[in-house]
Each structure stands twice: as structure tokens, then as C-alpha cells.
Amino acid sequence: MVVHLPPHHLKSAELSHRNAPHHTGRSPPLLIAGLPSRLIEFPVLHFHDMATGQLFSQKTQALFYNYKQLPIQRMLDFDFLCGRETPSVAGIVNPGSEGFQKLFFGQEEIAIPVHSSIETACTTHPTADVFINFASFRSAAASSMAALNQPTIRVVAIIAEGVPESDTKELIAYARANNKVVIGPATVGGIQAGAFRIGDTAGTLDNIIKCKLYRPGSVGFVSKSGGMSNELYNTIARVTDGIYEGIAIGGDVFPGSTLSDHVLRFNNIPQVKMMVVLGELGGRDEYSLVDALKEGKVQKPVIAWVSGTCARLFKSEVQFGHAGAKSGGELESAQAKNQALREAGAVVPSSYEAFENAIKETFEKLVEGGKIPPVSEVKPPQIPEDLKTAIKSGKVRAPTHIISTISDDRGEEPCYAGVPMSTIIERGYGVGDVISLLWFKRSLPRYCTQFIEICIMLCADHGPCVSGAHNTIVTARAGKDLVSSLVSGLLTIGPRFGGAIDDAARYFKDAYDKGLAPYEFVESMKKKGIRVPGIGHRIKSRDNRDKRVQLLQQYAHTHFPSVKYMEYAVKVETYTLSKANNLVLNVDGAIGSLFLDLLAGSGMFSKQEIDEIVEIGYLNGLFVLARSVGLIGHTFDQKRLKQPLYRHPWEDVLYAK
């Protein structure tokens, strides 16, 4: 589907229709919702061109800015009502927040990703080309401009009222120059019947069903007023086959797109057979439509009404609800606009009360002339009621309390990261492979999973004298159960015992990435009063190296595509050994540096993922998992030997005064 986008007409003198520069060339390729593997280039249109094409389809997806549960849920309920296969909200942008928001797609509860920035959201969801901005008037302009700057975004809907006019002009100018569409500010948005809905457009589901918006009709509708749009959707549904697309451009003085922009689009959409326009007093937007009608650019019937005729009853100038609804002279009066539209060829009734009949008569003429075929009525599905309002079976949906992405025990057999248990057994996966699925949510190469297994084997135990084993032995001899004995040992793991792997990885990575020489790194740590994690041992020294470290290094040199972090750690060790004989690279430092090489060298992790893995504590998790094997062994050993309650000998205590 080739989509043409409308230009944006400005009402300001400095960016007028006559003086606006013409732009040539081609816009960057855009990824269009529903066509994930196909790039479509949109030609940049001249300002005087009246572009055509529909903005939305059943494949359209949006990014929703500033999380609001109700309008998002209403969009998803509309999706379900229309029979969409995929939700129309691809992601949520909520500055300062990340994760997921749980919402309903029919009976099914889904998790919609939440991103902290517009850039991240657009990168993650390249087929989402509509940006629905629910920011306040204070930040709406900045966030809308950030969205327009993204190559994947082509339509921005700004809901907020009161956006500064100078900011709005900049948005309009940028959108026009870059062939993008702005709906609003001060808008409820728009709707394509049976396909896509922006936020709260068209109100409740009951109103949507009454207006038959769950399936397309033949009428294109555009209005300044969101509230009156709901009224007109109902009116149009009563006397025609319903709406095909409806847009509320917003009531501010400078709308991002004009009434005529959308009428000209509708004129070139084959499914739209007639257009209904609801304007209002104030401004001169309607006159661009008058010009288009006079120039013969609109070939389909236009039924129009400009509200605000009652303004003449007041002796002084009256400001109606919208910022732009204020007559600034006779040309901006509702009467003058209605007369101009009537003279240009639009069907303009004598009053708003006659508007419905004018729409009806025009529609019936088109039907009689064979220009509008009958629309097949469909029964929309029933939207499940929420738990608070429904109790009967089949009408209840309850929110979940946990999100899990690593395993699924539903179905015939459990799955680890989507891999069925039978596949794990049939392919001969080992413990390292299972860890790669459950911890990293992907199948790592065999050399990686084997390295994980080696780490577990080498760190499983280090004798009964280390603090973790000692605690476990004392607890087991006190008659406590396996879990209590195990936990008592695990609780000793920390920065002084076994918990330095993450810190070693973090500091080595930071120093290497910054290009610090080993001596610079060590001396900077010394100035901060921080011992270098992964360096130093109570027993091992230059002449008595830790065999575990040597085995890990040998394996990495043989199997890893790159060992840059390990080599850096060795250079740090060379410098620290010049200061003291026992400042050797210990097993924590070896695992920490080598795991960085595993993550970076495998090519399966982004920089952000690597930083997150280190920050969360994955590497210490290896030590915890490995040492649990040894601590369980010590528990069983003490119970098998039937050892009595342990009491520390007083000879081994210094009783100081």
C-alpha cells in the first residue's frame, strides 16, 4: 500500500501559504506497520500539492506517550471489537520508567513494553508509525518534536490543550518540511472505522457500537471539535452506512493539519464516497476548503456546517470553548463561512438542525446512483467485562500478579526460554545450556556453556575452612535442616568472600573501556581507598599460583575468539605483583574478566545487555550456584558423620580487656 501524506498549512503570517518554501527531494525510508520487511519511501510533496491517502489501517501500530491506562485499554478494546490480529499499541513511552504494563486484548492479558525514551521505543518498534502524545501542554511540544525527528514516525497526535502557539508553529513547519502529519493540539485524535483508534476518540464502547465504528462505512468526516465528533458519528450512522475515517483536528488557533487537508485526502480514498465537515467560527481554515472546491480539486459531495451562528446575538466579541473559536471579523463568522462554502459547491444546510437531513439526502442520492454499494453488517464480538463488574463465568478477566519470560509450564511439557524439555534432552544439553536459557534467555554456543560448567566445577568448594563452609558446618552440627544450613553458608557470600566477581568485572570493564593503563587503574583505586576486586589471595602468591585461574585461562585461550579483558586483568596483576607477592589474579578476577570476554566475544549481547548483566549480579550468581553444591556436600558430610553441636574452643579466642 502506497500512502501519500498531506501537507500542513500554516495560518501565521511568517509561515503563510504563499511564502512557504517548496521542498524537493525524498524523505528517508520509513518502516510501515504491517510491512516489517519492506521499506517504502515517501516522496516529499510541494506545499501547494494536495496530498492524498489514508493514514491508518488494520495493521497500524502506535507508540503511546505518558502512560494512561484507560485510553490505552479503550484502544485495545476497539482493536478486539474490529477483529484486529495484533494490538494497535506497540509500546509505551514513560520517561524515567522501563518494564511492562499489563493490559487486556479481549480475554487475553498482554504485557506492553514500557520505554524510558522516545528514541529507544522507536528503535525497538520500527513498524509503529503513529505517536499518540498524552503529555501535558508544558512538555507536549518537546516530546512531539522528538517523535517527529524519528524516521519511523509519520503521524503525531497531540492531545493537550494550551500548547504555546510558537511551539505549535515550529512543529507544523517541521512536519510539513519532512512530509509528516500532526493531528492537534487540543484533539481527541481520530479513528478509522474497523481499523484503528486514537485514544478516547468516539467515547465509550457502547457509543462505538451504536455508531457502527467497528466496521468501515463510506463517509469521511473531519471536525475541529472532538466532542461534536462523537455527536456527528452518531448522526452519520443513523442516516448513512457509517464512517470510513473521522478526524478531529483540534480547536487551537494553529492546528497541525487543516480541514481541507483531510477533505483532500478523503477525496482520493476510493472507499470514501462523501465527506462531512464540521467547522466553527474563528480563523480562516474553512476558506482553504472553499478554494479547493472552487478549483475543482474535490470531486465528491461535501456536506458542511460551520457552527457558531449564534455569535451575532451577542453585542461584544465572544470566546467559545476552543482557543480558535473566536470571531475576529466578518470573514471569520460562521455565517460568512457557511455562505462561502455553499457558493463553492458544498451542501450547506440552513441550520445545524437540518444538517442530519442534508447528510441523509446526499447519501441516498449516491445509493440511488449506484455509487455506494450495500455494506454487509457484522456482529461485533462481546468485550469481556472486568472483574469488578462481572462475576459469571466467561465474563471475568483477572489481572496476573507476576510476569515471567524465562519459562512456561503450561501445555504438554515445560519450556525453558521457549525450548521444550524434550528438545533439551534430545539435543544432549548440559547444565551450562540450561543456565544459558534460564539466565540469558538464549542458547549460547557450546564453548560458552562449557565455560559456565567449568566455572561451576572449579568453584563448587574450597575446603571446610572458608567462611561459607564453616557457617554451614556449624549450622548442620546444630541439628538444622539442609535449607537452613545451606542458607547460613550462602549468607557469608559478599565483597570479602566469593562475591567479588561482579565487582571485578565492573571495574576491569570500566578501566579497559576508558583506556586506562594498568598502573593508572590501580593507583586511581588506591586513591579512592578501594581494593582492586579480583586481585589478591590469603594463600596464593607469585610462586604458588591458583590452579583454577590457570585452567580458566588455558580454556579461554583455546576457545574464546577474544580475551581482551582477561589480558588486561593479567597486566593489572603484573603491576600489583610489583607491590606485593600475594597480589595475584584470583579466581573471582579470572571469572569476572573472562565472562566479559564471553559476553563481548560471542556477538550475542549488546553493550547495554552486558552492562545490565554485570549490574544485576549474574556473575556472582555463578559463584552462588557453584558454591551451593559444596555447601550441600558439607551439610550431608556432617550429618552422615553424626557430628555433635559445635563449640568454638576458648583457647582460640583472645579475651581482650
The residues carrying an active-site annotation are 322
Determine whether 608 is exposed, middle or buried from the number of CB atoms within 10 Å of its CB (0-12, 13-18, 19+): exposed
Q: Which residue is listed with cell 509528516? A: 180
Chain centroid to CA 639: 53
Cell of 470: 564453616
- The C-alpha atoms of residue 285 and residue 463 are separated, in whole angstroms, by 84
Query: CB atoms < 10 A from the CB of 252, how many?
Result: 24
In whole angstroms, give the CA distance from residue 158 to residue 379: 33
Check: CB of residue 464 under 8 Å from CB of residue 429. no
Q: Which one-letter DSSP state was computed for residue 331?
A: G
Q: Environment class of residue 352 by beta-carbon count within 10 Å: exposed (0-12), middle (13-18) or buried (19+)?
A: middle
Omega into 185 within 30° of 0, i.e. cis? yes
What torsion, rounded to 10 degrees, do the Cα atoms 457, 459, 461, 462 define? 130
- Residue 585: strand pairing partners: 535
Closest C-alpha to 477, from 324, 640, 601, 277: 640
Residue carrying the nine cell digits 513494553: 113
Could you give the angle at the alpha carbon of 610 between the alpha carbons of 606 and 614, nearest 5°?
170
Coil, helix or strand at residue 328:
coil
Alpha-carbon separation of residue 34 from 5, 126, 193, 298, 612 (angstroms): 18, 11, 17, 30, 32
DSSP SS3 for 64: strand
DSSP string, 350-376: SSGGGHHHHHHHHHHHHHHTT-SPPPP
Name which of 124, 115, 120 is nearest 96 in CA terms: 115
Find residue 106's DSSP bridge partners. none
User: Which is it for strands 196-197 and 189-192: parallel, antiparallel or unpaired?
Assistant: antiparallel
- Give Rg (Cα) of the chain: 34
